[in-house]
Chains A and B, each alone.
Chain A
């Protein structure tokens, strides 16, 4: 049988396509060149350099001197402030991550009801998350004022005991969590988009089966939006461990020698790291801190990814309609 297209033409075509493919590859790399260069210069090299510096003593003025594992050993065994700052940050993360995800999800659920004036609610809940951290700090520093702040005012009218908020060491972290909850509008809107995207026929099917609202929430909405819950979870993990600006402003972090908040109760991890690097010029030490932070964030994110199979449902597992 005679082929429809001769072999000669075929090779010619292949060659043409190869040349085209080659040109496309060159252009592809040219297009992504800035991003790749940026990755190498501003991400890969600094990360490796940070790792290297973490084994040195380095004040930037003189050359770094190698000290082996000294920084890590000192951090983990002899620096009470390290343990303190790590504890504060863990406490903050443990409170703020589940709380902000839960509250944001509930608010998104409420917004997903066919309520009128949704635009107004969206605006009210979203605007605070656009406020710069510096302003948030400046503003909440006064809102949470024990005597004169507008937060304690209604509490006092109701005769409820008023917390010391920013002046009581036990209340400092809960205060920071409260401030964080104020700015969770972004998560609310991401959840809302996800909840709105759940196909209506699933609810209809559930109704036919006699499902209550709780059943629908538990067996339709939450599983169908689990990938978005996961996304917000990872984003919150990454964010919570790096809390800095708000704390710096409220507690006047600039005073490197003063305590951060009452009894150092606001000495969050990155604030202590910042002080080590830019106030005490212990850059090797601060790099070791940075790498420990990096490892913790990576480990938690990895853990989250590992548990994904147990509770996250992805649409792609099923052919699209």
Chain B
């Protein structure tokens, strides 16, 4: 039997050509996609290494003597490595004291921030009252307020009531709202919690405070983790406020201690001690990052700029 379809008609030929063209195109597209991916990997990897190198240099140079730091070419792996730098540093400066000060300030301030910002976040997300959105908007404008503007009057205020030279200027304000950004973050998060979960309790006669503490707060844990980590790191890293408000060396934070080691450098070279202390300060930050990586990413997603 004759198969008429065996004779390549014009249509069939065109179809075949199209098919070939398509295959070619697909292969072409695949190669292009692969090339793009390779380029992305290359840039990200090389750039990433460049980004992380300074931290390697920090760690390695904290084990060098000054004459190893200031040599050409710079040596990435110190030979020999002076672990004794850390011992000398502990003899030279009361690192434990500074660590205690820093922790006290950071913990007290962070606790205040987490508590009061979630209180406000809950009210802005759930409760209806006149002027709510106006107050929220006004609070958000403080994000634009440079610390430089607040610095002098706040200093005057705290020195009037005798708080300069205590930890209070660095902790007490954080028990009042905890920062507009944190309030914003928690409000956004609470708005994603289904209303049925807490409205039912309100209708059953539970007070708002009970609802807040027993229902909302536990559900807020992911967002609270973000706020806690961000606040803690802020206080751990903060420099200008402690510089202004802490007057005696016994109250210094770790950040101030690094700065003071920098200033000691006039007479003898203390660069290696400064880098050693810097390593001590950075290490917990890196550890916190690895422990709470997901919270960081979530925090950034929450910043998500919606609403």
Contacts and interface: CB of A to CB of B under 8 A. Distances in A.
A274 B241 CA distance: 11
B117 interface: yes
Interface stretch (A8-16, A146-154, A215-223): A146-154
Contacts of A185: 51
Given A35-B116, A115-B44, A193-B300, A25 B129 contact: yes
Contacts of A148: 69-72, 74
B275 interface: yes
Interface size class of B (residues with CB under 8 A): 35 or more
Interface of A is mostly: helix
Given A115-B37, A135-B258, A252-B263, A47 B145 contact: yes
B6 interface: no
Contacts of A43: 142, 145, 150
21 contacts: A25-B130, A32-B124, A35-B176, A38-B176, A43-B142, A45-B157, A121-B48, A124-B52, A127-B289, A128-B51, A128-B52, A130-B233, A131-B55, A134-B255, A139-B57, A142-B57, A147-B70, A189-B300, A249-B262, A252-B262, A297-B144
Interface of B: 36-37, 40-41, 43-45, 47-49, 51-55, 57-58, 61, 69-74, 76, 116-117, 119-120, 122-124, 127-130, 132, 135, 138-139, 142-157, 159, 173, 175-178, 183, 207-209, 212, 233, 236-237, 239-240, 243-244, 255, 258-259, 262-263, 271, 274-275, 278, 281-282, 285-286, 289-290, 293, 296-297, 300-301, 303-306
Interface stretch (A71-79, A94-102, A287-295): A287-295
A90 interface: no
Interface stretch (A106-114, A165-173, A198-206): A106-114
B44 A121 contact: yes
Contacts of A214: none
Q: 10 tightest A-B contacts by CB?
A: A38-B176, A35-B177, A124-B48, A31-B123, A25-B129, A132-B237, A28-B129, A28-B127, A49-B153, A46-B153
Contacts of A147: 70, 72
Contact of A297 (B146, B183, B282): B146
Contacts of B45: 121
